[in-house]
Amino acid sequence: MRTPLVFAVSAALVAGTALGLAPAAHAAESGTSVRFVDIAGEGGTVLKANVVTPAGADGSARYPVIVLPTSWAMPQIEYLAQAQKLADSGYVVVSYNSRGFWQSGGEIETAGPKDVADASKVIDWALAHTPADPAKVGMAGVSYGAGISLLAAAHDKRIRAVAALSGWADLIESIYSGRTQHLQAAGLLGGAGFLTGRPGPELRQILSDFLASNLAKEGEMIEWGRQRSAATQLDRINANGAAIMLGNAWGDTIFPPNQYASFYEKLQGPKRLEFRPGDHATAEATGLLGLPNDTWTSAHRWFDRYLKGADNGIDREQPVQLKSRSTGGYEGYPDWKSVGANERKIALGGSQRIWANVDSGANGGIVMLSNLLDQILRTPPVASIPLLPRSFAGVWQSERYGSAQKVRGTAKLHTTVTSTKESGTFVAYLYDVGPLGLGKLVSNAPYTFHDKTPGTPFGVDLELFSTAYDVPAGHRLALVVDTVDPLYIEHNPTGAQLTFSSPQTDPSYLSVPLRAE
């Protein structure tokens, strides 16, 4: 569990937040105040917190308040830079270390009922001990803090606005999509949790069963995840009516964007969805250090509109804002279904059989690293498509395109699979292939099946992870399938073979969503 990658990432995150001490010096200059306090959470558990109040706050005036639960494995100074900016513009900000981590008491609950109750206890404390306005309460957070904020909005009617950044709405679809364990994501979270916190027996058991592929406990694990997913609380969230902003990265290897997009479409109150290049929490990272950051700028505008009532125009903008991985500009859409309004189907003709248990060379990269490089340098994982061994990889290619193809949204695979074993896993990859055959990864997704009759064909419908990517003119798209990827746990018995076919009565295809011009 505690891999070198886990230690390296955790150390980098902790070292980065040390820079958050700088706002304390800034507070002295701006007149705002910073206090470190203990707050009694659910059951009396002590939550370590900090409070930043506007300059001149003497109790005679009330200010909107924003509560910030920390991210997974992060110390309580995580948000100090943003808290200072918010206080400078007239907010009371209370940030607290989520239970089970660092100096806060209790055990890690993974956004369970006690975490949700903690959020309400912190709001209670803020209203009793700061000049906070009870009619103007907001919550925000990155990653773990985002998940807790969304769940709290379902249970506490006082919350009027939420900014949930790099979080999850559906925990199962995040780390168990396609019925496949996301190995590196779960390993990173588990390792960081053991390193910086105190996982309780329930979390320890869930992680053990999950990573050990204990299918006898699959139902219990799914129910555990459902209880921690805002998607199962949609009715309550919509009834409470909080204005909800969702932000995420296209390449988030912890919480892929599909589940956020699906959740966004079902929200009925004021809402906004923003996707940018990057990996988990990298789109917000510079803002945590106090540097200019588009995501945090949008969050501030969101709170100004829905807590202060400022007429800043954010509610009149297109609510879905996307930044392509290939260009520097933003694109606005009225809703998610308009993103990939045009679809182009690539026929997956013929029949291809591959042997399982061998990595063909096509893969989705490394958690937290590959998509960060794509964000900074626009260098996604690559594979030489002509050199992929056809015994271990199925390959289908489109024609060369005469004009650029702006892939936007969710590509969907429909195919027929026949396995020589009752269980198996495959991963589908979409590549942008240049004239020399070098493929740049556009998207991917895993798929696992169990209890199938060997030799009997069955249909598969698989959504690849949503993205925004421009395929240059003269390039083509390629679909590749193989059975091994370090990102995921695979379930292929020794000697298994998978056949992908396209029956005349049910042809196989890849549907690619394209931006309408």
Reported confidence tier of residue 12, pLDDT bands at 50, 70, 90: very low
Distance CA 162, CA 12 (A): 27
Distance CA 357, CA 484 (A): 6
Instruction: List pLDDT tens digits, range 491-503.
Output: 999 999 999 999 9
Both tokens of 111, joined, read 């956004």
Instruction: List pLDDT tens digits, range 180-222.
Output: 999 999 999 999 999 999 999 999 999 999 999 999 999 999 9
pLDDT at residue 24 above 60? no
Nearest residue to 132 via CA among 154, 160, 112, 152? 160
**Per-residue pLDDT, 2:** 33
Give start and end residues of each alpha helix (H) in 271-350. 285-288, 294-306
Instruction: List pLDDT tens digits, range 363-403.
Output: 999 998 999 999 999 999 999 999 999 999 999 999 999 99
pLDDT at residue 298 above 90? yes
Both tokens of 102, joined, read 């660092």
**Per-residue pLDDT, 56:** 80
- Which is it for the CA torsion 304, 318, 153, 186, positive or negative? negative
**Per-residue pLDDT, 45:** 98
Both tokens of 373, joined, read 């490089």
Tell me the one-letter amino acid at 92. V
Token look-up 């959470």 returns: 41
**Per-residue pLDDT, 205:** 96
Instruction: List pLDDT tens digits, range 109-135.
Output: 999 999 999 999 999 999 999 999 999
Instruction: List pLDDT tens digits, range 75-91.
Output: 999 999 999 999 999 99
Phi, psi (degrees; rounded to nearest 5) at 162: -135, 140
Cross-strand pairs, 481: 394, 428
**Per-residue pLDDT, 328:** 80
**Per-residue pLDDT, 517:** 72
pLDDT at residue 439 above 90? yes
Tell me the one-letter amino acid at 34. V
Phi, psi (degrees; rounded to nearest 5) at 272: -150, 140
**Per-residue pLDDT, 19:** 39
Q: What is the largest CA-CA distance in the chain?
A: 76
Instruction: Give me the count of residues in the chain.
Output: 517
Distance CA 147, CA 110 (A): 9
Instruction: List pLDDT tens digits, range 470-496.
Output: 999 999 999 999 999 999 999 999 999
Q: What percent of the chain has pLDDT over 70?
A: 94
User: Residue 400 in 3-state DSSP?
Assistant: coil
Q: Please state the rounded mean pLDDT for residues 227-252.
A: 98
Distance CA 375, CA 395 (A): 27
Reported confidence tier of residue 59, pLDDT bands at 50, 70, 90: confident
Q: Which residues contact 486 (CB under 8 A, 6 or more apart)?
A: 183, 184, 359, 363, 366
**Per-residue pLDDT, 26:** 55
Distance CA 407, CA 469 (A): 5
Reported confidence tier of residue 32, pLDDT bands at 50, 70, 90: confident
**Per-residue pLDDT, 268:** 97
**Per-residue pLDDT, 30:** 62
pLDDT at residue 4 above 50? no
115 with 109: CB under 8 angstroms? yes
pLDDT at residue 18 above 80? no
Both tokens of 396, joined, read 């289908």
**If you write DSSP's letter for every residue of 347-386 in order, what string do you get?**
E--S-EEEESSS--S-----TTTHHHHHHHH----EEEGG
Distance CA 452, CA 454 (A): 6
Nearest residue to 197 via CA among 119, 288, 97? 97
148 with 97: CB under 8 angstroms? no
pLDDT at residue 9 above 70? no
Whether the pTM exceeds 0.85: the reply is yes
User: Residue 229 in 3-state DSSP?
Assistant: coil
